[in-house]
Amino acid sequence: MTHLAQKKIILGITGGIAAYKSAELTRRLKEQGADVRVVMTPGAKEFITPLTFQALSGNPVSDSLLDRDAEAAMGHIELARWADLILVAPASADFLARLSHGFANDLLSTLCLATSAPIAVAPAMNQLMWKNKATQANCHTLKQRGILLLGPNSGDQACGETGLGRMMEPDQLVSATASLLRNNDPQAGPLHGKKVVITAGPTREALDPIRFISNHSSGKMGFALARAALAAGAQTIIIAGPVYQETPNGAERINTVTAKGMYRASLEHAPSADIFIATAAVADYRPLQIAGQKIKKSAKQISIELTRNPDIIAAVAALPEKPFTVGFAAETNDLINYAKGKLQNKKLDLIVANDVARSDIGFNSDQNAVTVISADKHQNLAQANKDQIAEQLIKIIASAL
Ligand code: PMT
């Protein structure tokens, strides 16, 4: 019995020669006990007939957004709600572009907009179309939104070329779909029933109406942790400084600008949280006075007096019923000692030491490498992308809890 048993899957098929493999995919999903409803785009029907999928899935095939009979049987919103997962295989370059731009000009793209179920796409196209910057940018956007990209594989293509762009094989898609459903099953996650609050990104401290003091934090580490916490089944709140990160599906986002704003939001949500993770690079100081007008370039030298900002994580760790509190320590030298000092001074349960002197990890990079420090042990997490580091951190936090 896999995680596919009794799962309701919309299998979206778009126009591409790999559509013939989706017949086999339908059969395999059914074998695993899934209830499959096939939705075809007009392009898909040029390659394979709806009748094939109706016979294999045992369900009527949907192919039109504006079909009165189909809407009377199961309307598009109902279908979007019905699904535990939408799997689009093959996903053509055109479909990926429409999905990334939020189009709703056929039934399948509308379902993708109207669902709260996870979405996975299996791209299939000519290798140059796959490599094209437009396709890559669309895929990047989709990934940032939490849509899972399965493949493509590399190999010989129907057009006679060789390279990346082949749709994943049905067996591979079945096992990837099963693990996606397992990861998204909140009852199965180690943080099911827990509330996690995460701070992310920089803060900005105004000097005058147009200038501010800030730092290079992109929010990538914090948002990766939010995705990992959601995948572990947690109710997840992300308190973000000014960053350009997509909010993961299912997370609540609170936007803040200044350290004081982030402090207020954190102190509002942390008392009811089980876990508080502070990845934010909070400005330690802010200008004592914010000039009412733009500061003019007249004097040769000016001085700006700064005053201390509140320490958010120390305030959370001092709550009478404090959540499990995890800090990050960004250091350019003597990393472990400074990190241990912050663990003790701020009374944290864990601290994640981050060497920010390196340009390949830490601030604004897609990768990180950290040391997790608690009162009694150290654990090094080798360099990996921030999603992988976040997954490992969430596992460590869940077991420490
Ligand atoms: O956002 P990215 O580009 O992905 O980069 C990630 C990161 C490098 C910012 C992140 O991994 C990291 O190391 N974050 C901590 C940055 C930092 O400000 O460290 P710190 O050593 O100054 O602060 C220690 C801890 O206290 C941190 O958890 C910080 O969020 C917290 N703090 C600091 C000051 C303050 N006023 N309030 C706080 O809560």
pLDDT of residue 100: 97
Query: pLDDT by residue (tens digit) across 336-348?
Result: 999 999 999 999 9
CATH 3.40.50.10300, applies to 195-400? yes
Give the distance, in angstroms, between the CA of residue 30 and the centroid of all CA atoms in the same chain. Answer: 29
- The class (CATH top level) of 2-180 is alpha beta
How remote is the CA of residue 328 from the centroid of ligand 1, in Å?
A: 5
Q: What letter would DSSP give residue 322?
A: P
* Tokens representing residue 257 in the block: 């600008």
pLDDT of residue 157: 81
312 CB within 6 A, ligand 1: yes
Atom in ligand 1 nearest the alpha carbon of residue 386: 4
Query: pLDDT by residue (tens digit) across 303-315?
Result: 999 999 999 999 9
User: Per mean pLDDT, which range of 24-28, 355-359, 382-386 is the poorest?
Assistant: 355-359
Cα 175 to Cα 2, 7, 142, distances in angstroms: 9, 14, 21
> What stretch of H or E contains 239?
strand 235-240
Question: Model's pTM, two decimal places?
Answer: 0.65
Pocket test for ligand 1, best of 279, 348, 363 (most atoms within 8 A of CB): 279
What number is the average pLDDT over the span 212-235?
93
CB neighbourhood size of 134 (10 A): 12
Catalytic residues, by residue number, are 159
pLDDT of residue 1: 44
Query: pLDDT by residue (tens digit) across 348-358?
Result: 999 999 888 88
| Nearest protein CA to atom 23 of ligand 1, as residue | 329
Task: Give me the count of residues in the chain.
Answer: 401
Whether cis (ω within 30° of 0) applies to the bond prior to 118 is no
pLDDT of residue 231: 83
- Rounded CA separation 248/381 (Å): 24
In the chain, how long is the greatest CA-to-CA distance? 81
235 CB within 6 A, ligand 1: no
How remote is the CA of residue 192 from the centroid of ligand 1, in Å?
A: 26
Say if residue 151 is exposed, middle or buried (CB neighbours under 10 Å; 0-12, 13-18, 19+): buried
Place of tokens 């001092």: 318
Average model confidence (pLDDT) across the chain: 92
Atom in ligand 1 nearest the alpha carbon of residue 315: 39
Query: pLDDT by residue (tens digit) across 192-220?
Result: 889 999 999 999 999 999 999 999 999 99
Cα 290 to Cα 214, 298, 308, distances in angstroms: 15, 18, 14
2, pLDDT greater than 70: no
34 CB within 6 A, ligand 1: no
pLDDT of residue 81: 92
pLDDT of residue 186: 60
Query: pLDDT by residue (tens digit) across 43-63?
Result: 999 999 999 999 999 999 999
195-400 matches 2-180 in CATH topology: yes
pLDDT of residue 355: 86
65, pLDDT greater than 90: no
Q: Could you tell me if 117 and 83 are in contact, meaning their C-beta atoms sit under 8 angstroms apart? A: yes
Query: pLDDT by residue (tens digit) across 285-307?
Result: 999 999 999 999 888 999 999 99
Q: Could you tell me if 18 and 117 are in contact, meaning their C-beta atoms sit under 8 angstroms apart? A: no
165 CB within 6 A, ligand 1: no
Selection from 282, 279, 281, 149 nearest residue 226 by Cα: 279
183 CB within 6 A, ligand 1: no
* Tokens representing residue 162 in the block: 């060789």
- Rounded CA separation 203/319 (Å): 23
329 CB within 6 A, ligand 1: yes
- Rounded CA separation 49/61 (Å): 10
Q: Which residues of 181-205 are buried (b: 16+ CB within 10 A; e: fewer)?
A: bebbeeeebebeebbbbbbbbbbbb
Q: Domain segments of the chain: what residues?
A: 2-180, 195-400
What number is the average pLDDT over the span 360-377?
90
Query: pLDDT by residue (tens digit) across 179-193?
Result: 788 767 666 788 988
pLDDT of residue 123: 97
Looking at per-residue pLDDT, the higher value among 188 and 158 belongs to 158
How remote is the CA of residue 280 from the centroid of ligand 1, in Å?
A: 4
What contacts 221, CB < 8 A, 6 or more positions away?
Answer: 200, 279, 328, 368, 386, 389, 390
Q: At what angle do helices 93-100 and 133-144 cross, to 10 degrees?
A: 50
How remote is the CA of residue 220 from the centroid of ligand 1, in Å?
A: 12
Of the pLDDT bands very low, low, confident and very high (cuts 50, 70, 90), residue 175 is: confident
What contacts 68, CB < 8 A, 6 or more positions away?
Answer: none
Residue 134's Cβ-side half-sphere holds a number of Cα atoms within 13 Å equal to: 11
pLDDT of residue 173: 92
27, pLDDT greater than 70: yes
